[in-house]
Amino acid sequence: MDLMQLNEPQRQAVLHTEGALLVLAGAGSGKTRVITCRIGHLLERVPAEQIVALTFTNKAAREMRDRVVEQVGRGKAKGLTISTFHSLGVRILRQEIEQLGYKKNFSIYPTSDQLRLVRDMVQGRQLPSGGNVDPDRILWLISAAKNELVEANDYTANPRDEYEVLTAEIYPRYQKSLKACNAIDFDDILLLTIRLFERFADVLDRYRQQFRYIMVDEYQDTNHVQYHMLRLLSSAHHNLCVVGDDDQSIYGWRGAKPGNILDFGKDFPGARVIKLEQNYRSTGNILAAANALIVHNQDRHGKKLWTAGDAGADVVYRCCDDGEDEAMAVVEVIHRERFRHQYQYRDFAILYRTNGQSRAFEEQLRYENIPYVLIGGQQFFDRKEVKDALAYLKVMANPLDEVNLLRILNYPKRGIGETTAERLIQASVVGECSLWDVLHHSAGIEGIGEKAGEAIQNFIALMERYQRRYRQPGQLVTTTQELFRELQLEEELYRQADDPKKARRRVENLHEVVNAVSSYEEREAIATLESFLEKVSLLDRDEPPRGSKEEKLKQDAVVLMSLHSSKGLEFPCVFLVGMEEGSLPHNKTIEETQDVSEERRLCYVGITRARQQLTLLGAARRKKYGRLQPREVSRFLSEIPESLIFHEKGDRQAAPPEQQEAMASDFFSNIQDMLK
């Protein structure tokens, strides 16, 4: 192992082996090299069996092990434990769980089996406020309790929250049912491991003696139960090395506790702190912008990224007219920079706060025949709520579209159940007529009751009323808005979701459908429902690459992803879009937490993904449910000094003549390919 390849702080982190150590690893500062070198250094001094390195995903654990093996050889690494927290927990439970009253051959229930258990327990129950019980929400509350180390008998409910009151009843029954089946769930893995350590001192002492050197990657992402497990395992020798960056703590919404890394010095008195501040990824101007932004967070470990490289290009900010203009501006820069610097498509990344923002960029990239991949979400027009909304429009345009007619027949629920639908389909087959015709004569079909028949007639009346409205010129977006409102699609999305945040994301996607209709109507001199749907079909003609995140990133395609999904990645050119109040920072996060710190960290993560070029974009106006509304520039932009930002005018400039010629050639080539 050549320590000369490391800078001085990296070398210090590798050589410090005894006692608690916090390595504050700034973005792009080479933390993975430090972790693997430190493991290699330890392997020269102590048996491999005494070392454990913990991370959050199996992929990260595999990559870490591969790098250690490459460095020290397979033989020397034999016996080394590199795993996720949960894999280590399962390993311990397989040896020790009998002391908690389980058999060693216990099963780990997947979510489907957990839901089945809860569903059986709440079957037929009604909430005090009315309506059926959502088993997903009960299971979510049980999971949240376990991650705070709250067991079934200790769970206390807020008497004003009907779901918490019900959970207080279901949680003990759920846990007894699991144990009766000799099963545990995913959250039990760490909870039961901790209970073993707390109740059986000899078990804890055995594992403390075995794992004398503990390392943790991405410590800022640990939750309460993971923190507690680490404290117990390191309580005798205190040889705990954690690596992370509080400035990149962006998973509070799923239980991560930034306080774990912020309070490390208090929790482990005498701990040494080493800062890795030299950045090997980004230019000086990008790092200066990132430093200027993140310093506005109060609760953080002070550090300042720097580079031995040059200042590089200015950070660019562009205020566009609206969301569609923003998408066109991004595509324009992709064309220009590809030509200037011979970049590949995969060198560009478009980062946004929420997945609902992808729609305009997906459309524009497809218009321009630019390949792209979407990371961490479905293609916009593949999302269920989008398909459901478009199904109504497709049946309005073509009532003989039976696939989509069946999709919307009982969505939202209107009393036309599966049995009724089967009888309607059978009547269509026997009578050799369309399902739409059968609906008009459903009163004569045997087995369809009065209530279902009335629901069918109301459905037909609604559809025919809006079909007439869609034929009126200039009413496309207004009619769509009123249709969705009358159907109460937003309310239905909230009813379906076990998590209000998921529901909001789906509602945002529904709004984007309306925005797509509105943008289309504005662009076209004669806008019809049929031509809008034709445009959507043409956009779907070439499916973007599918596969795992790693497979997608290998494609020569522009990358679209949320800021949360971008952590750990880097690109030569980054577009950070939606730089407006309400988007970044997101208004819902501010409303719920009264804290903008995590939103600022998200913006910081986005900025530090860029290697050479960073373009920030926002819109002066943006559509909300089809109507343009004024937008206020993100406060984060004002926190970056004006001297670091070049304000690019919104008017798009013509490309150089030679680039225009190349683009024209590409355009005609694409047209010829389409005509083949």
- Known binding-site residue numbers for ATP: 25-32
Amino acid at 162: E
Contact 24, 304 (CB under 8 A): no
Q: Which of 96, 187, 188, 218 is catalytic?
A: 218
Packing angle of the helix pair 162-180, 111-122 (nearest 10 deg): 120
Q: Which of 300, 346, 601, 609 is catalytic?
A: 609
Can 609 be counted among the known catalytic residues?
A: yes
Distance of alpha carbon 138 from alpha carbon 503, whole angstroms: 16
C-alpha 293: how far from its chain's center? 23
Distance of alpha carbon 8 from alpha carbon 14, whole angstroms: 10
Parallel/antiparallel/unpaired status of strands 621-624 and 627-630: antiparallel
Contact 26, 281 (CB under 8 A): no
Q: Which of 187, 217, 247, 648 is catalytic?
A: 217
Can 217 be counted among the known catalytic residues?
A: yes
Distance of alpha carbon 640 from alpha carbon 296, whole angstroms: 10
Q: Which two tokens stand for residue 659?
A: 């680039």
* Peptide bond connecting 572 to the previous residue in cis, omega within 30 degrees of 0: no
Can 151 be counted among the known catalytic residues?
A: no
Residues 6+ apart with CB under 8 A from 632: 580, 581, 582
Contact 171, 179 (CB under 8 A): no
SS3 70: helix
Question: Using CB atoms within 10 A of its CB, is residue 388 exposed (0-12), middle (13-18) or buried (19+)?
Answer: buried
Can 502 be counted among the known catalytic residues?
A: no
Contact 100, 192 (CB under 8 A): yes
Q: Could you tell me which residues are annotated as the binding site?
A: 25-32
Distance of alpha carbon 233 from alpha carbon 544, whole angstroms: 46
Give all strands (DSSP E) within 234-329, no chain letters: 240-244, 272-276, 315-320
- Beta bridge partners of residue 153, listed in sequence order: none
Can 595 be counted among the known catalytic residues?
A: no
Q: Which of 36, 50, 167, 248 is catalytic?
A: 248
Can 32 be counted among the known catalytic residues?
A: yes
Distance of alpha carbon 570 from alpha carbon 28, whole angstroms: 9
Contact 592, 552 (CB under 8 A): no
The DSSP string of 258-270 is THHHHTHHHHSTT
First-residue to last-residue Cα distance in the chain? 58
Q: Which residues are catalytic?
A: 31-32, 217-218, 248, 609
